[in-house]
Amino acid sequence: LSERLGSVFDRLTKQGALSEADVETALREVRTALLEADVSLPVARDFIKAVKVRATGQAVTKSVTPGQQVVKIVHDELVRFLAGDGEPDALKIDNPPATILMVGLQGSGKTTTTAKLAKRLKDKNGKRVLLASLDTNRPAAMEQLAILGTQIGVDSLPIVKGETAVQIAKRAKTQANLGGYDVLFLDTAGRLHIDEVLMDEVQAVRDIAQPRETLLVVDGLTGQDAVNVATEFNAKVGISGVVLTRMDGDGRGGAALSMRAVTGKPIRFVGLGEKMDALETFEAERVAGRILGMGDIVALVEKARETFEAEQAERMAKRFAKGLFNMNDLKMQLEQMMKMGGMQGLMGMLPGMGGMAQKAEAAGFNDKMLKRQIALINSMTKKERANPDLLAASRKKRIAAGAGLDVAELNRLLKQHKQMADMMKKMGKGGMMKQAIKQMM
């Protein structure tokens, strides 16, 4: 794959903004990568479509090809999409006992994940946990949970033969209340495929159990099928989050993207093995990198961006240190100030200048003034901007009139420019300027 990408990127070496063609070519490779990672076809298609709109027209960082830039944009979008915004990564277990319902297909890793989560809550959060298996079809499955419970030092509900899943759920709730437990895990029975009987049973359990969380456990190695599973469970039972298991295997974990896309629910945990501590909270950055499988390119673009910014800051600082601070520089600074929330915003960012913001405002040093100053500079010729010393009285009159302002205001601007140029010179020598410029970029 990287060979194929290499050839595409070789063809796309022109700089500037990303054209539609650049984006389309690169996204074709990205699409292949997503499908190879087992992202379901419709999800891959929708994702690509959304990224295409966002990427077209974006700037290409120096020394990076458009294709590489697109990959970086795709990566960032993937991270953003997988992470969601501000979703808590901890389970909601306030107001005990909190019931957590575990659902999913047979063999997806429900029972194992139940025990892993229980161990985590006990060891890390000091919670008292009760486990209950509702898998009435397979006595061995109930034993399995009890054995794991013993292994991790967590109580499990005594097994009573002949009960239905709903009956066990009721008994478990009562026991959790009476026993003073913080968390109750209900490990449901799975089926090999989605079927009505399974869904009806899980619904009935849900209605009795009133779970705080309903976690869908999905095998990270399943691809296309994961979408159907997630759609069904979310529609019929309603899930609050997803656990992706077998991420220790060779699979690229495209199911994560599919799950997120079809349910809109966060991926909460990732299973990384059979052992009881092989569970991690979900990290979008890591999983995105794995799905896309283009970590080198992403790192390369990030590095290029950093280098570019450092070079830019260096160049500006050097100019200023030499006293090269003309009206174009001032205009750029003024515009930058406007962009960054005006005077107040800027002063707050510069080291040691926070307190000056109020004084400056009081002295009429505000955003309206910034706009007037920009208008004055716009009214100057190219030559005048490059060399403000040219500004004799007649020129001043013309410039002020052009901006619809007084000559007095222009004089204030010139005085300020002089002061700033001197300050820049001093700061540039100290290296403080480079810091300030970098912060502004």
Residue set of the binding site for GTP:
104-111, 187-191, 245-248
Q: Which does 273 bind (CB under 5 to 8 A by kind): ligand GDP, Mg ion, none?
A: ligand GDP
Residue 156 interacts with ligand GDP (CB under 6 A): yes or no = no
Q: Which of 360, 359, 356, 339 is nearest to 348 (CA)?
A: 356
Question: In terms of CB distance, is 141 or 357 closer to Mg ion?
Answer: 141
Q: Which does 224 bind (CB under 5 to 8 A by kind): Mg ion, ligand GDP, none?
A: none
Q: Which does 245 bind (CB under 5 to 8 A by kind): ligand GDP, Mg ion, none?
A: ligand GDP
Q: Phi and psi (nearest 5°) for 83?
A: -75, -30
Q: Shortest gap between Cβ of 325 and ligand GDP (angstroms)?
A: 60
**Contacts of Mg ion in 111-140 (CB under 5 A):** 111
Q: Phi and psi (nearest 5°) for 129?
A: -120, 140
Q: Shortest gap between Cβ of 291 and ligand GDP (angstroms)?
A: 17
Q: Shortest gap between Cβ of 131 and ligand GDP (angstroms)?
A: 12
**Contacts of ligand GDP in 86-115 (CB under 6 A):** 104, 106-112
Question: In terms of CB distance, is 158 or 264 closer to Mg ion?
Answer: 158
Residue 190 interacts with ligand GDP (CB under 6 A): yes or no = yes
| Contact (Cβ atoms closer than 8 angstroms) between residue 98 and residue 92 | yes
Residue 345 interacts with ligand GDP (CB under 6 A): yes or no = no
Question: In terms of CB distance, is 237 or 316 closer to Mg ion?
Answer: 237
Q: Phi and psi (nearest 5°) for 415?
A: -65, -45
The residue assigned the tokens 């060891």 is 123
d(CA 180, CA 391) in angstroms, rounded, equals: 83
Residue 141 interacts with Mg ion (CB under 5 A): yes or no = yes
DSSP 8-state symbol, 38: T
For 70-104, letters b (16+ CB in 10 Å) and e give bbbbbbbbbbebbbeeeeeeebebeebbbbbbbbb
Question: In terms of CB distance, is 22 or 135 closer to Mg ion?
Answer: 135
Residue whose beta carbon is closest to ligand GDP: 271
DSSP string for residues in 99-144? EEEEE--TTSSHHHHHHHHHHHHHHHH---EEEEE---S-HHHHHH
Phi-psi region of 253 (alpha: psi -120 to 50; beta: other; left: phi over 0): left
By CB under 6 A, name the binding residues for ligand GDP.
104, 106-112, 190, 217, 245-246, 248, 271-274, 278
